[in-house]
């Protein structure tokens, strides 16, 4: 009963390093999302994928890239990490349709020095 699985759970990077956050879901959901959570700002959408093969920008896409590898997997890449990208990152998935609740992974806590 895994749901949405994110790896790694914690990571520390140096400024300028690159990193890929992995996300996989086993619920056969069409839509997948990446959010970042910062103190006092709630969750903000970085990128989302409505279906396999499609991706679209959210509210805060700068500095990130995504890949919808297949229906199960949606990865988030930081090409050149910056201290401003220190955050907790959440992946989520949902069935197609905006009325469906999103199911979240446990988050990745990323610190960039």
* Binding span for another protein by CB under 8 A among 12-20, 45-53, 62-70, 71-79: 45-53
- Which residue in 42, 21, 28, 9 sits closest to 100, CA to CA? 28
Q: Give least dist CB 99 to another protein, A.
A: 5
Q: Minimum distance from CB of 21 to another protein (Å)? A: 15
SS3 83: helix
Encoded tokens for 9: 């759970």
14-33: contacts with another protein (CB under 8 A)? 31, 33
**Nearer to another protein (CB atom), residue 14 or residue 62:** 62
Closer of 17 and 102 to another protein (Cβ): 102
Q: What is the dihedral of CA 67, 100, 3, 78, to 10 degrees?
A: 30
Q: How far apart are CA 35 and CA 33, in angstroms?
A: 7
End-to-end CA separation in angstroms for the chain: 35
Binding mask 61-100 for another protein (x = CB under 8 A): ---------------------------x-x-x-x--xxx-
40 binding another protein? (CB under 8 A): yes
């Amino acid at each position: 009963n895994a749901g949405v699985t994110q790896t790694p759970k914690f990571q520390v990077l140096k400024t300028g390093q690159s990193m890929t956050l992995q996300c996989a879901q086993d619920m056969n959901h069409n839509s997948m999302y990446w959010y970042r959570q910062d103190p006092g700002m709630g969750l903000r959408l970085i990128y989302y994928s409505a279906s396999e093969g499609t991706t679209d920008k959210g509210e805060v896409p700068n500095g990130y890239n995504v890949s919808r590898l297949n229906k199960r997997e949606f990865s988030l890449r930081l090409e050149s990490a910056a201290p401003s990208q220190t955050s907790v990152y959440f992946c989520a998935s949902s069935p197609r349709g905006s009325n469906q609740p999103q199911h979240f992974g446990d988050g990745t806590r990323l610190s960039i020095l």
